[in-house]
Amino acid sequence: MLLTCGEILWPGGSFPLPRICIIVPVLNERDNILALLRRIDDTLEEDNYVVCIVDDGSTDGTRDILAEQQRQTPDRVHVIYREKRGRGSQRGSALLLSLLWGLNESDAQYFVEMDGDLSHRPEELPSALTRLTDDEADVVIACKYVAGSVVTNRPIERRMVSFFCNLAVRVLLAPRIHDYSNGYRFYTREAAEKVATARIRYGSPIYLSEVMAIWLRAGMRIIEVPTTYIGRNEGVSKLRVTDLIKAGVAVFEISVRRHLLGFGRAKRQRPIGS
């Protein structure tokens, strides 16, 4: 049975009630997605979890792999298929969509966001999740800029762009957070509900900063932990000046809501970023 919501296909069926919902946005990750799923399973084999993957229109065979994985392990893998509209990454809208699925279709108490290209190591899942289960924090960020972190296979030019962009966001939102751009995040169901009920304006990767601002305004307990980040084909040439300008304007707008206006209530008539 398929239920449709705009251009989004929701494979229906019953699901177990997982303790952890892992959110993974993908686009053309044929060479990486199976290894990612296997490493997650090896790491969390004793835990109850589900991986919710949003595919934004892969054309390299990723969808065939995902369909087979969902068929083989329906209690572990759930896939939402979308057709991407417009230029640029819609990572933010994919993350929000799968977050809403996890809240509505599971009783997951903990959520994880990670990339589908193996830039984030599944082997770090247990230690970060422990910070949540031990009630040390509501949100845990795998941070590239704290002592003990390692960044590999990333050009120095891209590292500098990322560092200075994060520095600018820190000035506008909160200096105590060092990494607003890394998509390896862990948070409680309560933190997920804060996002689900807020008005989200951005479907692009700037969503990561918008969500952090929501958590900061809500007084969520946020900590950063060391991580090993593995760069994946992310040269400076992929960055466009217009995108950086748009991101700067967006962060300024987010800072106004974070400090002054608040984020309002969500309206979900259609998917974010569509």
Phi, psi of 49 (to 5 degrees): -150, 165
DSSP state of 219: T
Task: Please give the Cα distance from 201 to 207 (Å, whole number).
Answer: 8
pLDDT tens digits, one per residue of 144-201: 999 999 999 888 888 888 889 999 999 999 999 999 999 999 999 999 999 999 999 9
Three-state SS at 131: helix
Domains of the chain and CATH, by start: 2-261 (3.90.550.10)
> Do β-strands 110-113 and 185-188 pair in parallel, antiparallel, or remain unpaired?
antiparallel
Under 8 Å between Cβ of 110 and 224: no
Q: Return the closest-CA partner of residue 91 out of 23, 172, 30.
A: 23
CA gap 155, 233 in Å, rounded: 9
Statement: residue 122 has pLDDT above 70 = yes
Q: Is pLDDT of 3 > 50? A: no
Q: Where are the alpha helices (DSSP H) in the chain?
A: 33-43, 62-72, 91-105, 125-133, 156-172, 189-197, 207-217, 241-256
What are 11's two structure tokens?
Answer: 């494979």
The pLDDT confidence band at residue 97, using thresholds 50, 70 and 90, is very high
With cut-offs at 50, 70 and 90, classify the pLDDT of residue 89: confident
Would you tell me how many other CB atoms lie within 10 Å of the CB of residue 255?
17
C-beta of residue 149 within 8 angstroms of C-beta of residue 227: yes
pLDDT for position 244: 79
Axis-axis angle for helices 189-197, 207-217 (nearest 10): 110
User: Could you tell me which of 246, 230, 222, 206 has the C-alpha nearest to residue 174?
Assistant: 222
**Strand order, beta sheet including 139-143:** 2-5, 8-11, 77-81, 49-55, 20-26, 110-113, 185-188, 139-143, 222-226
pTM > 0.95: yes or no = no
